[in-house]
């Protein structure tokens, strides 16, 4: 547990964040999402975190493109696009994130498309298992469930499938992605913000009894209660202390708030709902990692707004307070 007296973090040894900039777009077809991390760095995120008294360790000292690891050719398998590229990038990414957790740091990953959660959650889960003998719990904040399997996907885009790979719902070994060890139990996942879930995904959510708060529940209970219920669900049998990884897809927010993203869906979280969620999670001290993904500066006329919101959501997670 935390040795730094002033720090509230239960799972970090120090006020240090390992930041991995994942300039990767292979899990979906739109160009530009690989530019997300570069824009976030240009908006001075590192300086902002340093101002909050964090030591920042940037993976590889720069934005990661992983191009040297891309396979020479990557024909679709059935309708699944770029499985070997997505697979190898995530394998490297898992090792990079694991290294930060092993060093007692908090882990922040900036994307990049959401297929990268395969690597980030695999790496965090491995590190947390090793250091604390605990399973990782995940809060997936998203308009989408990203739990299609290679059998259920309508698009073949792997950014719509990371959860099924992490949960071991994919039958047999899938070429390029066969290194993945299931590390996420259905009872350890909570969704917040859902509003565009494919028909067969709904079936998967039901079959696996996955706790999900769609926009309907947020309307009904308010974000405050939804967060309380989320924490309660993720605290069963562990005295409210187990480690939490947040995977935040910027499209969870309403497109009028953060429009520079590849698969926007109207009716999303407000600016404050998004921030409240992360502020409240910070105050638990249980966070170990945050993914901030699907920022696509090439989409929309005001990408600087979306980038700035990505930065302020990250600061909220790491403890920026309003007073
Ligand atoms: N990470 C995302 N933005 N995912 C969108 C997924 C959309 C759709 N459900 C699909 O499987 O392709
Ligand atoms: Mn999404
Ligand atoms: Mn997503």
Tens digit of each residue's pLDDT (9 = 90 or more) over 68-87: 999 999 999 999 999 999 99
How much distance in Å is there from the Cα of 5 to the middle of ligand 2? 37
CA 194/CA 192 separation, integer angstroms? 6
CB neighbour class for 39 (10 Å; exposed up to 12, middle 13-18, buried from 19): buried
Average pLDDT (200-220) is: 98
Model confidence at 6, in pLDDT bands (50, 70, 90)? low
Q: Where are the beta strands (DSSP E) in 55-166?
A: 55-58, 106-111, 137-141
Residue 208 lies in a domain: yes
Q: Which residues contact 252 (CB under 8 A, 6 or more apart)?
A: 141, 142, 143, 192, 193, 268, 269, 274
Average pLDDT (200-221) is: 98
Identify the residue whose C-alpha is closest to ligand 1 atom 7: 160
Which pLDDT value is given to residue 103?
98
Model confidence at 191, in pLDDT bands (50, 70, 90)? very high
Q: Which residues contact 51 (CB under 8 A, 6 or more apart)?
A: none
CA 228/CA 281 separation, integer angstroms? 10
- Residue 57: pLDDT above 80? yes
User: By percentage, how much of the chain surpasses pLDDT 70?
Assistant: 98
Residue 230 lies in a domain: yes
Q: Which atom of ligand 1 is nearest to the CA of 159?
A: 1
Residue 9 lies in a domain: no
Which pLDDT value is given to residue 32?
98
- Measured in degrees and rounded to the nearest 5, phi and psi for residue 285 equal 70, 5
Which pLDDT value is given to residue 1?
42
Residue 10 lies in a domain: no
Residue 7 lies in a domain: no
CA geometry: angle at 246 spanning 121 and 218, to 5°?
Answer: 140
Residue 136 lies in a domain: yes
**pTM score of the predicted model:** 0.97
Whether ligand 1 lies within 6 angstroms of the CB of 159 is answered as yes
What is the arrangement of strands in the sheet containing 211-214, beginning at the earlier edge strand? Answer: 55-58, 16-22, 106-111, 287-293, 244-249, 137-141, 189-194, 211-214
Whether residue 302 lies in the annotated active site: no
Containing structural domain, residue 171 = 16-317
- The owner of tokens 């969620």 is 277
Residue 140's nearest CA partner among 117, 157, 156, 122 is 117
Q: Provide the domain count of the chain.
A: 1
- Residue 283: pLDDT above 60? yes
Whether ligand 1 lies within 6 angstroms of the CB of 152 is answered as no
Identify the residue whose C-alpha is closest to ligand 1 atom 8: 160
Tens digit of each residue's pLDDT (9 = 90 or more) over 226-254: 999 999 999 998 888 999 999 999 999 99
Tens digit of each residue's pLDDT (9 = 90 or more) over 11-25: 999 999 999 999 999
Is the predicted ipTM greater than 0.95, yes or no? yes
Q: 34, 74, 201, 294: which is the annotated catalytic residue?
A: 294
Which pLDDT value is given to residue 7?
83
Instruction: Classify residue 181 by its DSSP letter.
Output: P
- Residue 5: pLDDT above 70? no
Whether ligand 1 lies within 6 angstroms of the CB of 294 is answered as yes
Residue 146's nearest CA partner among 254, 251, 282, 37 is 251
Tens digit of each residue's pLDDT (9 = 90 or more) over 294-318: 999 999 999 999 999 999 999 999 9
- List the CATH number of the domain containing 268: 3.40.800.10
Average pLDDT (120-133) is: 98
Residue 93 lies in a domain: yes
Residue 2 lies in a domain: no
CA geometry: angle at 289 spanning 47 and 230, to 5°?
Answer: 125
Which pLDDT value is given to residue 2?
41
Whether ligand 1 lies within 6 angstroms of the CB of 160 is answered as yes
How much distance in Å is there from the Cα of 116 to the middle of ligand 3? 10
304: left (phi over 0), alpha (psi -120 to 50) or beta: alpha
């Amino acid at each position: 547990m935390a040795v730094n007296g002033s720090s509230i973090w239960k799972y970090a040894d120090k006020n240090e964040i390992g930041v991995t900039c994942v300039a990767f777009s292979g899990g979906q077809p739109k160009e530009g999402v690989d530019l997300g991390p570069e824009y976030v760095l240009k908006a001075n995120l590192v300086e902002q975190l340093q101002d909050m008294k964090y030591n920042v360790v940037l993976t590889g000292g720069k934005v990661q493109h992983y191009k040297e690891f891309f396979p020479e050719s990557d024909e679709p398998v059935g309708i699944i696009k770029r499985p070997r590229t997505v697979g190898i990038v995530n394998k490297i990414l898992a090792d990079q994130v694991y290294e930060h957790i092993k060093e007692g740091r908090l882990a922040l990953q900036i994307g990049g498309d959401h297929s990268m959660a395969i690597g980030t959650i695999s790496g965090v889960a491995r590190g947390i298992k090793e250091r604390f003998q605990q399973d990782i719990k995940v809060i997936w904040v998203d308009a989408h469930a990203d739990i299609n399997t290679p059998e259920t996907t309508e698009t073949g885009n792997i950014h719509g499938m990371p959860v099924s790979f992490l949960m071991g719902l994919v039958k047999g070994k899938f070429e390029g992605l066969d290194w993945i060890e299931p590390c996420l139990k259905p009872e350890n996942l909570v969704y917040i913000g859902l509003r565009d879930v494919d028909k067969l995904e709904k079936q998967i959510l039901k079959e696996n009894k996955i706790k999900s708060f769609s926009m309907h529940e947020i309307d009904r209970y308010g974000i405050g209660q939804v967060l309380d219920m989320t924490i309660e669900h993720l605290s069963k049998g562990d005295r409210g202390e187990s480690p939490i990884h947040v995977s935040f897809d910027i499209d969870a927010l309403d497109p009028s708030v953060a429009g520079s993203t590849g698969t926007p869906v109207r009716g999303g979280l407000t600016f404050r709902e998004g921030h409240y969620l992360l502020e409240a999670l910070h105050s638990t001290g249980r966070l170990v990692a945050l993914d901030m993904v699907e920022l696509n500066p090439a989409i929309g006329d005001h990408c600087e707004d979306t980038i700035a919101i990505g930065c302020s959501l990250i600061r909220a997670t790491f403890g920026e307070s309003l007073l």
